[in-house]
């Protein structure tokens, strides 16, 4: 039962089928009851009529018997021999004839009465008791007209047995006697009644009203008949159309009762005794639904149950199958599968509509999801994957490589990170729309040159791009980086502007440089910034460029030794007046004479020194060394300005001006002999503190210069607020101004603006005479570059200057002369 309940709760089909079948059964039961009720009322209406009919049948049966008896009696009365015997009053013969004749017609009582109704002879022994009967019958016969139907005779009870009697006269031609014939009523009457009227007949007898009724004959089962007899039938007088209801052993019977005996001739003293005939019918039986109807009803019920069952199951199936499909589809949607169509044939009904609605919802959600994914994972400007997608892809690539770790050939993943040079500047000068276009073109270039199938180019944001080389090692990454650098060498032409794009590229590989995706990206970024700083193009990550790595500690120790053990060298690179060609200054640049690595260029340790803060020690060393040399050069008659580079950390050092001042005093050098070079980014790290330091330095008399101008993000308007004397145009513009008209434009406008603001302009990176001439024509003040002189050991500078002067014979040296005071 519980299992069924659970099944119905879970299955709609079972519920629908159960409901339909339940309704059907209810209808069947109602129909069945209606049939019963109507049958019952019909039977109750019919019953009295049927019982009355039965009663008439009984009477006519009795009349038939009476006719037969009468015929037999007439035959006897007409018999010649019998008449002779009656005439001669030969009693012996009479008795024997009566016996013979009675036997022949089946009568049990035969008697002869005289004309005066005295008994003459009889075959039975109790006929003396029948005097009144004979008198009545004779009277009846006398009243009867010849040819009229024979009366049914008379029924009387003789020693507890009912008899039917008839009497005919013996005429010669006057009545000379009477023949009485009696016939015991037996089972044949009951059998005939049943055959003719399909009713039960019961004959009851009693001697007097004081006695109970006795069942004499009955077509009913003995017990039922006895039960019927218990009813007080004495008062019951047969009346047309009446019916008595009697309950016997729980069964209802409709009964019609009739006295068969005439009270006056009952034969046994008329004390309420006599014979009672009951015609009866079982009401229950009459109202019972006939067997064949029952079978038919059952068959109809079963058939309709089967049809309903199949029909409702089919309907439920038709409804529920699409529901199941929709439920499965909803599950799929819930699990995030928006690609599989809802499916199934689409009907035009409500479920079809629902299905359509579902399908529309799926398509719409799928589209929205795609849109969201696009926003979340794609860069809208370039159409490249964005940082989030790139990070996922790197993670995935590492996971795949990790799985293959046992396989032959070292599995490896390489990431290249790339940041455009001077993009901010291009954006500022040529506009954001142009900047956007430029980024799109750069993206196209990267996609063209960089990538094998399966590799991924992404825009991480701003002017930063990244490339993932799945199963790529350092060597491959270097090759790709080189290809990209080569591709960037060709200037980009966009809307009649030609832009020379450079980029710093950082490379990091898994598992050599990092153990997970985020670390790998971080390392590639560190390498990229280092590459930009060193103008190295592409740079593979190594722990020395990363202040957070373990190797830096040993490098730090090495650098301390470098200062202590005098491994650092001061190099000087000349700065020349474009107007006169005279040597007007030099930039102090550091070199490291490493005991095992040889001469190490600054880009391999300056960034590290900046990160670790060791740069302050370095700066002090260079400044003092520069002061020493200035003193020496001064002694040789050379009056030049020495440029010294300052880093962010230096600017944040509040003591720096005092320290410098102390060294100036120590070496007896005027502050005006120095120009301090600061990059825009160094100032922008903490503008307020930087500005405070710069103000104090300026107040001490130091000249200040903005180094690498054009690569940072500061505007000239902002620089105007700084106590600056000089701008150094970044060498990337200068080196390409020959080939790139836009760069030439930038150089020109920078020079003009600087002059308008009262600043002098230095161009660095002059590599040939053509650029020199161009710069001179643009009224640039000074030039620095390989074309004139590379950085050289400081103690060779004086000689070099002599050689230069000999070659170029300066017109005059007013600036140098003025500085001597």
767 is a contact residue toward ligand C2E (CB under 6 A): yes
Q: Choose, by CB under 6 A, the member of 262, 786, 808, 815 that binds ligand C2E.
A: 786
723 is a contact residue toward ligand C2E (CB under 6 A): no
Could you give the CA distance from residue 724 to residue 729 in angstroms, rounded to a whole number?
14
Cβ nearer to Ca ion, comparing 382 with 645: 645
CB 527 within 8 A of CB 533: no
From the list Ca ion, ligand C2E, none, partner contacted by residue 589 (C-beta under 5 to 8 A by kind): ligand C2E
572 is a contact residue toward ligand C2E (CB under 6 A): no
Q: 726 to 765, contacts with ligand C2E by CB under 6 A?
A: 731, 764-765
Structure tokens at 398: 């590492």
Number of residues interacting with ligand C2E: please give it, by CB under 6 A: 23
Cβ nearer to ligand C2E, comparing 270 with 681: 681
603 is a contact residue toward ligand C2E (CB under 6 A): yes
CB 761 within 8 A of CB 750: yes
**Residue whose entry in the numeric block shows the structure tokens 């053990």:** 565
606 is a contact residue toward ligand C2E (CB under 6 A): yes
Cβ nearer to ligand C2E, comparing 356 with 659: 659
Q: Nearest 10 degrees: CA dihedral of 776, 780, 782, 784?
A: -80
647 is a contact residue toward ligand C2E (CB under 6 A): yes
Structure tokens at 798: 């004086």
Could you give the CA distance from residue 411 to residue 76 in angstroms, rounded to a whole number?
142
712 is a contact residue toward ligand C2E (CB under 6 A): no
Q: Note the Cα 86 to chain centre separation in Å.
A: 119
Nearest distance from residue 557's CB to Ca ion, in Å?
27
Cβ nearer to ligand C2E, comparing 165 with 660: 660
Nearest distance from residue 790's CB to ligand C2E, in Å?
7
685 is a contact residue toward ligand C2E (CB under 6 A): no
CB 156 within 8 A of CB 145: no
Instruction: Sort 53 into a burial class: Cβ within 10 Å, 0-12 / 13-18 / 19+.
Output: middle
- Residue 715's H or E segment, with its range, is none
How big is the CA angle at 566 (ends 565 and 572), to the nearest 5 degrees? 165
From the list Ca ion, ligand C2E, none, partner contacted by residue 766 (C-beta under 5 to 8 A by kind): ligand C2E
Cβ nearer to ligand C2E, comparing 109 with 573: 573
Nearest distance from residue 548's CB to Ca ion, in Å?
27
Closest CA to 533 of 614, 450, 610: 610
From the list ligand C2E, Ca ion, none, partner contacted by residue 781 (C-beta under 5 to 8 A by kind): none
132 is a contact residue toward ligand C2E (CB under 6 A): no
DSSP secondary structure string, 260-328? -B-GGG-SS--BS-EEEEEEEEEHHHHHSPPHHHHHHHHHHHHHHHHHHHHHHHHHHHHHHHHHHHHHH
Sign for the CA dihedral angle at 378, 380, 384, 388 comes to negative
CB 686 within 8 A of CB 713: no
Of 46-54, 133-141, 183-191, 780-788, the window that binds ligand C2E (rule: CB under 6 A) is 780-788
Q: Is residue 95 left, alpha or beta, with left meaning phi > 0 and alpha meaning psi from -120 to 50?
A: alpha
CB 459 within 8 A of CB 442: no
Applying CB under 5 A, the residues found at the interface with Ca ion are 645, 677, 707-708
708 is a contact residue toward ligand C2E (CB under 6 A): yes
Cross-strand pairs, 589 = 571
Cβ nearer to ligand C2E, comparing 466 with 622: 622
- For residue 511, whether the previous peptide bond is cis, meaning omega lies within 30 degrees of 0, is yes
Of 6-14, 365-373, 388-396, 598-606, the window that binds ligand C2E (rule: CB under 6 A) is 598-606
Q: Choose, by CB under 6 A, the member of 502, 543, 712, 791 that binds ligand C2E.
A: 791
547 is a contact residue toward ligand C2E (CB under 6 A): no
711 is a contact residue toward ligand C2E (CB under 6 A): no
From the list ligand C2E, Ca ion, none, partner contacted by residue 785 (C-beta under 5 to 8 A by kind): ligand C2E
The residue of the chain with the least Cβ separation from ligand C2E equals 785
From the list Ca ion, ligand C2E, none, partner contacted by residue 517 (C-beta under 5 to 8 A by kind): none
Instruction: Sort 478 into a burial class: Cβ within 10 Å, 0-12 / 13-18 / 19+.
Output: middle
CB 673 within 8 A of CB 631: no
CB 123 within 8 A of CB 110: yes
How big is the CA angle at 50 (ends 47 and 55), to the nearest 5 degrees? 125
Could you give the CA distance from residue 476 to residue 485 in angstroms, rounded to a whole number?
14
801 is a contact residue toward ligand C2E (CB under 6 A): no
Q: Is residue 159 left, alpha or beta, with left meaning phi > 0 and alpha meaning psi from -120 to 50?
A: left
693 is a contact residue toward ligand C2E (CB under 6 A): no
202 is a contact residue toward ligand C2E (CB under 6 A): no
Nearest distance from residue 785's CB to ligand C2E, in Å?
3
Nearest distance from residue 390's CB to Ca ion, in Å?
33
Cβ nearer to ligand C2E, comparing 742 with 764: 764
Could you give the CA distance from residue 164 to residue 184 in angstroms, rounded to a whole number?
6
Could you give the CA distance from residue 345 to residue 317 in angstroms, rounded to a whole number?
14
Could you give the CA distance from residue 225 to residue 203 in angstroms, rounded to a whole number?
9
Cβ nearer to ligand C2E, comparing 317 with 628: 628
Could you give the CA distance from residue 481 to residue 467 in angstroms, rounded to a whole number?
10
Q: Choose, by CB under 6 A, the member of 481, 517, 583, 590 that binds ligand C2E.
A: 590
Cβ nearer to ligand C2E, comparing 506 with 574: 574
Nearest distance from residue 486's CB to Ca ion, in Å?
24
Cβ nearer to ligand C2E, comparing 152 with 784: 784
- Residue 1's H or E segment, with its range, is none
Nearest distance from residue 565's CB to ligand C2E, in Å?
18
443 is a contact residue toward ligand C2E (CB under 6 A): no
Could you give the CA distance from residue 467 to residue 487 in angstroms, rounded to a whole number?
15
Q: 259 to 298, contacts with ligand C2E by CB under 6 A?
A: none
CB 679 within 8 A of CB 649: no
707 is a contact residue toward ligand C2E (CB under 6 A): yes
Nearest distance from residue 730's CB to ligand C2E, in Å?
8
Could you give the CA distance from residue 298 to residue 306 in angstroms, rounded to a whole number?
12
621 is a contact residue toward ligand C2E (CB under 6 A): no
Strands 674-679 and 583-594, how do they pair? unpaired
Cβ nearer to ligand C2E, comparing 60 with 768: 768
The residue of the chain with the least Cβ separation from Ca ion equals 677
Could you give the CA distance from residue 800 to residue 818 in angstroms, rounded to a whole number?
23
Number of H-type helices and E-type strands within the chain: 28, 27
Q: Choose, by CB under 6 A, the member of 193, 492, 766, 780 that binds ligand C2E.
A: 766
Cβ nearer to ligand C2E, comparing 427 with 705: 705
Nearest distance from residue 715's CB to ligand C2E, in Å?
21
Q: Is residue 700 left, alpha or beta, with left meaning phi > 0 and alpha meaning psi from -120 to 50?
A: alpha
Of 323-331, 392-400, 429-437, 596-604, the window that binds ligand C2E (rule: CB under 6 A) is 596-604
Q: Choose, by CB under 6 A, the member of 450, 531, 622, 778 that binds ligand C2E.
A: 622
Cβ nearer to Ca ion, comparing 680 with 707: 707
559 is a contact residue toward ligand C2E (CB under 6 A): no
Nearest distance from residue 716's CB to Ca ion, in Å?
17
From the list ligand C2E, Ca ion, none, partner contacted by residue 647 (C-beta under 5 to 8 A by kind): ligand C2E
Taking every pair of C-alpha atoms in the chain, what is the biggest distance, in angstroms? 214
Cβ nearer to ligand C2E, comparing 236 with 603: 603
- Site residues, ligand C2E (CB under 6 A): 573, 588-590, 601-603, 606, 622, 645, 647, 677, 707-708, 731, 764-767, 784-786, 791
């Amino acid at each position: 039962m519980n299992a069924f309940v659970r099944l119905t709760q879970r299955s709609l089909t079972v519920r629908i089928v159960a409901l339909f079948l339940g309704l059907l059964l209810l209808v069947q039961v109602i129909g069945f009851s209606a049939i019963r009720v109507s049958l019952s009322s019909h039977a109750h209406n019919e019953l009295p009529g049927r019982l009355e009919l039965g009663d008439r049948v009984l009477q006519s049966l009795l009349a038939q018997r009476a006719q037969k008896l009468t015929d037999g009696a007439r035959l006897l009365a007409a018999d010649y021999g019998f008449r002779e015997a009656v005439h001669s009053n030969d009693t012996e013969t009479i008795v024997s004839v009566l016996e013979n004749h009675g036997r022949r017609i089946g009568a049990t009582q035969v008697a002869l009465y005289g004309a005066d109704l005295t008994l003459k002879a009889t075959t039975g022994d109790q006929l003396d008791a029948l005097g009144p009967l004979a008198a009545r019958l004779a009277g009846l016969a006398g009243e009867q007209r010849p040819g009229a139907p024979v009366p049914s005779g008379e029924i009387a009870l003789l020693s507890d047995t009912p008899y039917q009697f008839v009497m005919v006269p013996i005429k010669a031609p006057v009545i000379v006697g009477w023949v009485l014939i009696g016939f015991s009523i037996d089972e044949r009457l009951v059998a005939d009644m049943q055959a003719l009227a399909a009713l039960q007949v019961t004959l009851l007898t009693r001697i007097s009203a004081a006695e109970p009724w006795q069942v004499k004959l009955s077509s009913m089962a003995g017990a039922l008949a006895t039960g019927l007899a218990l009813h007080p039938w004495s008062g019951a007088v047969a009346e047309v159309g009446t019916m008595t209801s009697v309950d016997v052993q729980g069964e209802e019977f409709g009964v019609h009762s009739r006295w068969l005996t005439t009270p006056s001739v009952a034969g046994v003293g008329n004390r309420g005794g006599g014979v009672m005939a009951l015609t009866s019918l079982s009401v229950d039986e009459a109202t019972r639904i006939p067997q064949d109807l029952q079978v038919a009803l059952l068959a109809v019920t079963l058939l309709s149950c089967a049809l309903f069952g199949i029909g409702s199951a089919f309907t439920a199936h038709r409804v529920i199958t699409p529901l199941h499909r929709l439920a499965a589809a909803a599950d799929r949607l819930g699990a995030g599968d928006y690609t599989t169509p809802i499916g199934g044939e689409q009907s035009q009904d409500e479920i079809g509509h629902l299905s359509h609605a579902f399908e529309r919802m799926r398509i719409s959600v799928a589209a929205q999801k795609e849109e969201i994914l696009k926003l979340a994972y794609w860069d809208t400007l370039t159409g490249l994957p964005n940082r989030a997608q790139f990070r996922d892809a790197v993670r995935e690539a590492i996971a795949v490589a990790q799985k293959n770790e046992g396989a032959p050939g070292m599995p490896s993943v390489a990431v290249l990170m790339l940041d455009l040079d001077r993009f901010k500047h291009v954006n500022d000068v040529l506009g954001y729309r142009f900047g956007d276009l430029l980024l799109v073109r750069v993206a196209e270039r990267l996609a063209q040159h960089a990538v094998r199938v399966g590799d991924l180019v992404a825009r991480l944001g701003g002017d930063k791009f990244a490339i993932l080389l799945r199963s790529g090692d350092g060597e491959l990454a270097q090759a790709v980086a080189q290809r990209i650098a080569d591709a960037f060498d060709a200037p980009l032409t966009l809307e009649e502007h030609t832009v020379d794009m450079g980029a710093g590229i950082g490379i990091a590989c898994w598992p050599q440089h990092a153990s997970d995706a985020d670390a790998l990206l971080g390392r590639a970024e560190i390498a990229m910034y280092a590459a930009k700083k060193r103008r190295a193009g592409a740079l593979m990550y190594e722990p020395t460029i990363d202040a957070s790595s373990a190797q830096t500690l040993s490098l730090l120790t090495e650098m301390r030794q470098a200062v202590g053990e005098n491994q650092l060298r001061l190099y000087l690179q000349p700065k020349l007046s474009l107007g006169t060609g005279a040597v007007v200054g030099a930039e102090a640049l550091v070199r490291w004479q490493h005991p095992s690595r040889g001469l190490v260029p600054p880009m391999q340790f300056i960034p590290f020194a900046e990160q670790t803060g060791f740069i302050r020690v370095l700066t002090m060393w260079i400044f003092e060394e520069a002061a020493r040399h200035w003193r020496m050069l001064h002694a040789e008659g050379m009056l030049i300005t020495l440029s010294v580079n300052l880093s962010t950390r230096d600017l944040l050092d509040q003591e720096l001006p005092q320290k410098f001042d102390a060294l100036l005093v120590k070496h007896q050098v005027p502050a005006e002999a120095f120009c301090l070079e600061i990059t825009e980014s160094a100032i922008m790290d903490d503008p307020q503190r930087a500005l405070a330091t710069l103000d104090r330095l300026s107040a001490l008399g130091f000249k200040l210069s903005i180094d690498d101008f054009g690569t940072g993000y500061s505007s000239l308007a902002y620089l105007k607020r700084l106590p600056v004397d000089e701008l150094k145009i970044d060498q990337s513009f200068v080196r390409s101004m020959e080939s790139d008209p836009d760069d030439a434009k930038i150089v020109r406008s920078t020079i003009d603006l600087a002059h308008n603001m009262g600043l002098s302009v230095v161009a660095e990176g002059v590599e040939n005479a053509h650029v020199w001439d161009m710069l001179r024509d643009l009224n640039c003040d000074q030039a620095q570059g390989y074309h004139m002189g590379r950085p050289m050991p400081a103690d060779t500078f004086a000689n070099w200057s002599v050689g230069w002067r000999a070659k170029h014979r300066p017109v005059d040296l007013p600036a140098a002369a003025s500085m001597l005071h």
